[in-house]
Amino acid sequence: MTHSVPEAGREARAEILDFLLESGTWRTGLLSVLLDAVSAAVEGGPVVVLGVTDERVGRLWVGAVSMLSAPSSAEAIRCRHADGREEVRDGAHLVTVSTANLHLWAGSDGVVIGEDDNCSLGEMSIDPHQTERGTSVAVTHWSLLAEAVLVDSETALAAFELQESIDRKFAADTLHRLWPLAMTVASTPEMHESMSSAAEVIREHSPWALVEQTELFSLAVGAVAGGCGRDAAVAWRDRLTAGPTPEPAVHVPDPLIRLPEPVQAPTPNPAVAQPEIRTLLMGEAADLSADTVRLGCSVSWTQPRSSPLEVDLVAFLLDESRTVSTDEDFVFYNSPVGGGGAVALSVLTPEAQRVDIDFGALAPRYHRVALGIVITGPGSFSQLNPLRIVLTDNEVPVADSICTHGTTEQAMIVGEFYIRAGRWRARSVWQGYDGGLAALATSYGVVVDGPG
């Protein structure tokens, strides 16, 4: 009997990960070939036959396929354990058999793989995987996303919990099996090597309901921009927000969001070549120039005409675990300088404040600087739209980002700077916190006396 891939619980996931990541084995490599072969089978390709030591080991391999798929789409993959070829007659995608019986599948149309086979891994759009038995398997985004997640057990378990959480948000939709995993990778900057695969899956398979999840939608737009280019991201965003029913060809709709006119930058010196300013979408990241040592970041907002709000800029200097280590790592209005003078806050106008960062003076223990704004009295960010950040290198604007979706929050991380491959990057975030400064500070390990 053929059955669907079961959803793996946390304990089962831990057992599967121990199996996959066991020292001295190459099971993650074989899993890459297996996932891509199963992907082809689901799309109408030949059945995948995996020779295993016993049925228990077969269940572990099937479980690995399960936990790297959207929980809500488990029924799309049909698996079974069999003793002989004659038992498989009902459209299975993955069949596990005893290694001793694997020879029965010689000459079949299936992709036959033994769990101890030596396979050669391919590269997407260049070379396919090659099995020991002479079969070529095209590389897909599935194996590349899995590779990003299966770094170690802790990283993988956290990723699977996030994947499940994202999947639950779209319980009413039929999700593509890779989409929640792609969104998980997009949510984790450290998985940057697979970000282009995540972007392609997000662009091709996002549900229409994604536009209703503001933060996830903005994250997705940023991921598509980073992996496919800004023009592709804007076109994709507009298509998704337009909905499944296309507009008449004669009608040209207004943009979903009218962005404010950019703040006029200082008149540049014509004798000096000025870099083009880059606009970062929410969730999008960009490398800072290798020559950048001191960076300015101004944050501005639109105060209501009556009863202006009390707004303050804050910064968190974070270690490798993304938490503050000392009081000096929390920079705010009562303590506007931190990191031994490497980070300093200043007030520009009632509607703008600034942080200056000297990356050359930052201690090596700092891996990330998160920049936020908080409302210290009544009010919410719905009254401050639009908000804007502008990055300046040697006082020349090089990048900006705009937020128009502030709602009930009283605290928000607007952006962050982090090290990747020895180079600092900037990322637009715009993530709100309803609990104000207290909730924001606590999330980074700051012990607060009371509500902010």
d(C-alpha 337, C-alpha 343), whole Å = 6
User: What number of other Cβ atoms are within 10 A of residue 444's Cβ?
Assistant: 19
What pLDDT, on the 0 to 100 scale, is given for residue 272?
47
CA dist list (Å): 214 to 171, 191, 338, 448: 17, 22, 33, 29
What's the mean pLDDT in 242-270? 56
**Which of 22-31, 63-72, 216-225, 351-360 shows the lowest mean pLDDT across its residues?**
216-225
Highest mean pLDDT among 87-96, 300-309, 357-366, 381-390: 357-366
Where does the pLDDT of residue 92 fall: very low under 50, low under 70, confident under 90, or very high at 90 and above? Answer: confident
d(CA 193, CA 155): 15
Kindly give, in sequence order, each residue whose CB lies less than 8 Å from that of residue 282, ignoring residues fewer than 6 positions away.
218, 219, 221, 222, 401, 403, 428, 429, 430
**Does residue 451 surpass a pLDDT of 50?**
no
pLDDT, one tens digit per residue, over 384-419 is 988 999 999 988 889 999 888 888 899 999 999 999
At residue 195, the pLDDT reads 82
Q: Is the separation of the CB atoms in 240 and 208 below 8 Å?
A: yes
**Tokens 């398997």 sit on residue:** 137
DSSP state of 443: H
Give dist(CA 261, CA 259) in Å, integer: 7
- Asked if the model's pLDDT at residue 271 lies above 50, the reply is no
Tokens, residue 301: 């907002």
Mean pLDDT, residues 13-37: 93
Q: Give the Cα-Cα-Cα angle 49, 51, 56 (nearest 5 degrees).
A: 110
**Cis status of the peptide bond prior to 386, with omega within 30 of 0:** yes
Task: Tell me: pLDDT of 18 over 90.
Answer: yes
Taking only the tens place, the pLDDT of each residue in 108-163 is: 888 999 999 989 999 887 899 999 888 999 999 999 999 999 988 988 998 899 89
For 399-411, letters b (16+ CB in 10 Å) and e give bbbbbebbeebbb
Q: What is the mean pLDDT of residues 258-272?
A: 51
Confidence class for position 250, pLDDT limits 50, 70, 90: low
Local structure of 419: helix, strand or coil? strand
Residues 432-441: what's their mean pLDDT? 89
Q: Among 36-45, 78-87, 297-306, 406-415, which stretch is predicted with the lowest mean pLDDT?
A: 78-87
- Residue 8's pLDDT is what? 53
- Residue 147: strand, helix, or coil: helix
Report the share of the chain in percent with pLDDT over 70: 87
CA–CA gap between residue 249 and residue 230 (Å, rounded):
24
Fold of 278-443: Lipoxygenase-1 (2.60.60)
**DSSP per residue over 77-122, as a string?**
SEEEEESSGGG--S--SEEEEEGGGGGGGTTSSSEEEETT---B--
Whether the per-residue pLDDT at 1 is higher than 50: the answer is no
Q: Where in the chain is the domain with CATH 2.60.60.30?
A: 278-443
Please report the pLDDT score of residue 265 as a whole number.
47
Length of the chain: 452
Give the residue from 417, 319, 401, 313 showing the smallest Cα distance to 359: 417
What mean pLDDT, rounded, does the chain reach? Answer: 85
Measuring CA to CA, which residue among 406, 322, 388, 321 is closest to residue 349?
A: 388
- Token code pair at residue 248: 């008449």
Tens digit of each residue's pLDDT (9 = 90 or more) over 283-339: 888 899 888 889 999 999 988 878 899 999 999 999 999 999 998 899 999 999 999
Quick one: pLDDT at residue 115?
A: 92
CB of 123 within 8 A of CB of 133? no
Per-residue pLDDT band for 248 (boundaries 50, 70, 90) equals low
Helix (H, G, I), strand (E, B) or coil at 396: strand
* pLDDT the model gives residue 421: 84
